[in-house]
Each structure stands twice: as C-alpha cells, then as structure tokens.
Copies of this chain bind each other. A is one copy, B any other.
Amino acid sequence: MLNKQYTSMLQEKDVIFEIFQYATERAKVVGAENIYDFSLGNPSVPAPSIVNETIVQKVNTLDPLALHGYSPSFGIMETREKIAVFLNKKYGSSYKASNIFMAIGAAGALAHAFRAVTNPGDEIITFAPCFSEYKPYTAGAGLKLTIIPADIDTFQINFAAFEAQLNENTTAVLINSPNNPSGIVYSTETIKKLADILTEKSKEFGHPIYLISDEPYRDIIFEGVDAPYVANYYKNTLTCYSFSKSISLPGERIGYLAVHPDCIEANKIIEICPQISRTIGQNGAASLMQRTVADVCNYTSDLSVYETNKINTL
C-alpha cells in the first residue's frame, strides 16, 4: 500500500515548489523573460566566474577516478580543512576540519543536525516567520516543532513567548538569520540574550539545549547591518550552511554542517553524521562540487545587486 503519511502530504504540498513548477511550465509557453518567479530563493546573480573556471580546471587536470570516485562519508578532507580555515579567518572561530561535515545543501546539513542532537518525540523550537519547509524537515526527524509567534515590531525574537514555551522536552532551538522570509538579521544583542537563556535553561533542565543555526543567507548582509556569527556566542551551536546563495549554486546541493569545537560532544556529533546518512538515503555530497567549493569558499557572487534591488523597491 502506498505510504499514508506521504500521500496525505500531497494535500499540503510545499507551496514554494508548486509555484516554482508552475513558473517553469509557464516559461515554456510565454518565454522565461516574461516570468517573474518569486517562489524559490533562486539567485538573480550568476556564480562568480571562478566557480566555472574551477570546475573546468578540476575536470581537466584531476585523475577522473579520484575526481568522480566515492568520497569519505564525512566529506573530502581537503574541503573540510579549507572551510575550517576560511571560517576561522573570517569569524575568528577555531574550527578544525574534524568539526565540518559536508552535506547536500543546507537541507542535507539540517537533516543531519536535527537527527544528531535530538531524539524522536523531542520538541524543537523556532520563531515566526520561518521557512515553510521546517515543518516537514523536523517531522522527518520525529520532532515536535513549536513556532514562537513573531515580535511584529522588530522581527527579532519574541523572548517572552520563547521563555514561556521552553521546557524539559526542548532539546534544540532552530534559528535562521538572515531570515527567510522576513529578511531580518538577528542583532548581537538578540543572539547574546538567546545564548544567555539557553545556557540558563540547559543548566535548569540538566541537558544541553543545542542551537541549530540555519545560515544559507549569511553572506547577504546589507551595509551597516549588525550581523554576528551566531556560533561565536553559544558554544553548543550547529551551523548549517549552503553555497546556494553566496556563490549562486542552489541546484548543485552543496553545503556543510559546522559544529562548534567546544560544543558538548562535538566529536561524537560529527561521528554519528555518516550513520544518519545511511538511514536517509544520503552518501556524501557530489565530489566535483566538494572539490570546487574547497577552492572558492572565500568568494561570493556580486551580492551587491540584492542591496540595489532593496533600495530600488523602497
């Protein structure tokens, strides 16, 4: 018999993908230039030319057996090393390669983060407005997702509602800053207050409350905006990143999970990630893309375009 859960999900399909599918179909009829598709966060600026140059260089110079062969479950070591070095230089963090797990986009990274630090039946808390896919993402890990109502004045965190909700069954909190869909960036003050509460409540409940920070939009920060690197303020942070927006590669499904080196059970969290992969049909990110991002992780697309767009629409 067809699966009941997934069949019932057809009644509440992902509205984002529905619109995207429709736009794709319509583009064939009326021409792509006549479609303004605001569904997915598909970049409007191309990947920097170094990305395609790097792909071609890898393909033309590496042994194809090594290039296209299976990569280690944790990801290619050179890629993990380069990402750790890049993060440490940019944010003053102290990641080692062993803190980085390569994943198929932020969706893949989140799937591992959710499953690593929670058990089925646990509660995970996030904040409105939030990415609509968090519901199926967390449901797949057997979690109860609680969405805290928005602070509609600032779209920072509604701390009163958050503190009232936190309970012994809460084992993880999920944030997304810069936020999809609001565009808001959580301030240093917000992150510090969040960290203080999580530290206090972890102590009170006798178990760590892990912070899962979903950061695909991390590099799209407009001038003058206070945009702290979340993990620097709370050690029990699992940072989920994708190269989708920073270098405009959403279709290539490449990202990573970075576990703070001082996180409780940091090594074990990474160690169990390949075990998680085995149960959810994953087996590493595409090797050519892993090797490519190793070389270009310090580049971005011309992200200034997004700021210009914002100014022009104000």
How many Å lie between the Cα of A43 and that of B13 in the bound state?
A: 39
Q: Which of B2, B136, B271 makes the CB contact (< 8 A) with A272?
A: B2
By a CB distance below 8 angstroms, the chain B residues around A249 are: 68
Question: A265 at the A/B interface (Cβ < 8 Å)?
Answer: yes
Contact with B along A110-147 (1 / 0, CB 8 A): 11100111110000000000000100110110000000
Question: A199 at the A/B interface (Cβ < 8 Å)?
Answer: no
Enumerate A149-196 residues with CB–CB distance to B below 8 Å.
171
Q: A122 to nearest B CB, angstroms? A: 8
Complex contact A104–B281 (CB within 8 A): yes
Complex contact B70–A104 (CB within 8 A): no
Q: Which of B4, B59, B280, B283 makes the CB contact (< 8 A) with A253?
A: B283
6 contacts between A and B (CB under 8 A): A1-B208, A5-B119, A20-B70, A55-B288, A111-B280, A251-B288
Question: A204 at the A/B interface (Cβ < 8 Å)?
Answer: no
Q: Which residue of B lies closest to A208 (CB)?
A: B1
Q: Which residue of B lies closest to A248 (CB)?
A: B68
Question: A107 at the A/B interface (Cβ < 8 Å)?
Answer: yes
Complex contact A68–B112 (CB within 8 A): no
Enumerate A1-27 residues with CB–CB distance to B below 8 Å.
1-7, 9-10, 13-14, 17, 20-21, 24
> 13 additional contacts, CB 8 Å, given A17-B72, A108-B281?
A2-B269, A6-B279, A7-B272, A9-B278, A10-B272, A10-B275, A46-B65, A47-B68, A56-B56, A104-B253, A104-B282, A111-B281, A139-B279
Q: Which of B2, B45, B103, B105 makes the CB contact (< 8 A) with A117?
A: B2
Complex contact A4–B119 (CB within 8 A): yes
Query: Given A2-B265, A117-B3, A274-B17, A279–B68 Cβ distance below 8 Å?
Result: no
Q: A173 to nearest B CB, angstroms? A: 15
Enumerate A258-289 residues with CB–CB distance to B below 8 Å.
265, 268-269, 271-272, 274-276, 278-289
How many Å lie between the Cα of A297 and that of B100 in the bound state?
A: 34
Question: A69 at the A/B interface (Cβ < 8 Å)?
Answer: yes
Total contacting residues, chain A, CB less than 8 A:
87
Complex contact A64–B52 (CB within 8 A): yes
Complex contact B72–A281 (CB within 8 A): no
Complex contact B279–A281 (CB within 8 A): no
Complex contact B69–A278 (CB within 8 A): no
How many Å lie between the Cα of A119 and that of B73 in the bound state?
A: 28
Residue of A103, A283, A284 ringed by the most chain B CB atoms within 10 A: A283
Q: A279 to nearest B CB, angstroms? A: 3
Query: Given A107-B283, A136-B278, A284-B253, A65–B116 Cβ distance below 8 Å?
Result: no
Complex contact B3–A272 (CB within 8 A): yes
